[in-house]
Amino acid sequence: MVEHDEADEALLAALGTHPEQGGVVFRALTGEAHAVVDFLVERLVGVAGRLLDPALAPGARVGQVARGGHALVAELARVVAVGGWSRLGLPAAGAQEPLDVPALAIGDRVAALVAPGGAGQPTVEERAFRALVESAADVIQVIDRSGVSHYISPGVTAVLGYTPQEVVGEHFRVMIDPRDQAAVEQAFADVLAAPPGAVAEAEFRVRTRDGRVRWVHGRGSNHLQTAGVHAVVVNWRDVTVPIELRSRLEFAATHDVLTGLANRRLFIDHLELALAGAARHRDERVAVLMCDLDRFKLINDTLGHAAGDALLREVAQRLREAVRPGDTVARFGGDEFAVLCPELTDEEQAGHVAERVVSAIAGPYRLEEDAVEVLVGTSVGVALSRTPPQSADEMMRAADSALYEAKRLGRGQVQVYSGRLSENVSRRLRLEADLRQALVSNDQLFLLYQPKLNLVHDRVFAAEALLRWAHPEHGLLLPAAFLPVAEEAGLLFPLAEWVLRAATAQVATWGRTGFGLGVCVNFSNRELNDPRMPHLIESTRARTDIDAAKLEIEITERAAAADLARTIETVRTVRSDGHHVALDDFGTGYCSLTWLQQIPVDTVKLDRTFTMRLGQDKASTAIVEAMLRLCSALELGTTAEGVETAAQMAQLREMGCEAAQGFYIGLPMSATDLEAALR
Q: Tell me the per-residue pLDDT of 561-589, one tens digit each, with 9 for 90 and over.
A: 767 788 888 999 999 999 999 998 776 65
Tell me the backbone φ, ψ of residue 516, rounded to 5 degrees: 65, 30
Q: For the chain, which ranges sit under pLDDT 70?
A: 1-25, 27-55, 57-70, 83-85, 93-96, 106-109, 115-137, 227-228, 368-372, 387-389, 419-425, 562, 587-594
Measured CA angle at 60 (ends 56, 65), to 5 deg: 60
By the 10 Å C-beta count (0-12 exposed, 13-18 middle, 19+ buried), 151 is classed as middle
**How does strand 603-606 pair with strand 580-586?**
parallel
> What is the C-alpha radius of gyration for the chain, rounded to an integer number of angstroms?
42
pLDDT at 423: 67
CA distance 657 to 678: 22
Q: What stretch of H or E contains 217?
A: strand 213-223
Half-sphere exposure of 273 (CA within 13 A, CB side): 11
Q: Residue 633 is inside which H or E element, if any?
A: helix 618-633
Strands (E), 515-648: 518-523, 551-556, 580-586, 603-606, 637-640
Tell me how long the chain is: 679
324-364 pLDDT, tens digit each: 999 999 999 889 999 999 988 877 888 889 889 998 998 78
Q: In this predicted structure, what is the pLDDT of residue 319?
A: 94
Assess contact for 295 and 364: CB atoms under 8 A.
no
464: helix, coil or strand? strand
Rounded CA-CA distance 207/213 in Å is 5
Contact 215, 195 (CB under 8 A): no
Longest dimension (CA), the chain: 131
SS3 content of the chain, % helix, strand, coil (to 5): 45, 25, 30
What is the per-residue pLDDT for 275? Answer: 92
CB contact set of 592 (below 8 Å; sequence gap of 6+): none
Report the C-alpha gap between 449 and 467 in whole angstroms.
9
The phi, psi pair for 153, rounded to 5°, reads -75, 160
Q: What pLDDT, on the 0 to 100 scale, is given for residue 115?
A: 61
Task: Please check whether residue 310 is in contact with residue 371, taking contact to mean a CB–CB distance below 8 angstroms.
Answer: no
Cα distances (Å, whole numbers) of residue 147 to 186, 187, 203, 225:
11, 12, 18, 16
Residue 107: the pLDDT is: 64
Rounded Cα gap, residues 290 and 402, in angstroms: 8
CA angle 166-167-173, nearest 5°?
135
**Looking at residue 122, what is its pLDDT?**
40
Q: What is the distance between the alpha carbons of residues 551 and 474, in angstroms, rounded to a whole number? A: 32
Global pTM value: 0.51
List, as one string, the DSSP characters of 122-143: HHHHHHHHHHHHHHSSSEEEEE
203, β-bridge pairs: 217
DSSP-based three-state secondary structure for 468:
strand
User: Cα 611–617–620 angle (5° rounding)?
Assistant: 40
**What is the pLDDT at residue 33?**
37
Residues 310 and 357: beta-carbon distance below 8 Å: no
Cis? peptide before 196, omega within 30° of 0: no
All structural domains of the chain: 6-133 (3.30.450), 137-244 (3.30.450.20), 255-417 (3.30.70.270), 439-678 (3.20.20.450)
CB atoms within 10 A of CB 603: 20
Q: Is 257 helix (H, G, I), strand (E, B) or coil?
A: coil
Cβ–Cβ under 8 Å, residues 353 and 307: no
Distance from chain centroid for Cα 622: 58
Give the list of residues 6+ apart from residue 29 with CB closer than 8 angstroms, or none: 36, 37, 38, 39, 40
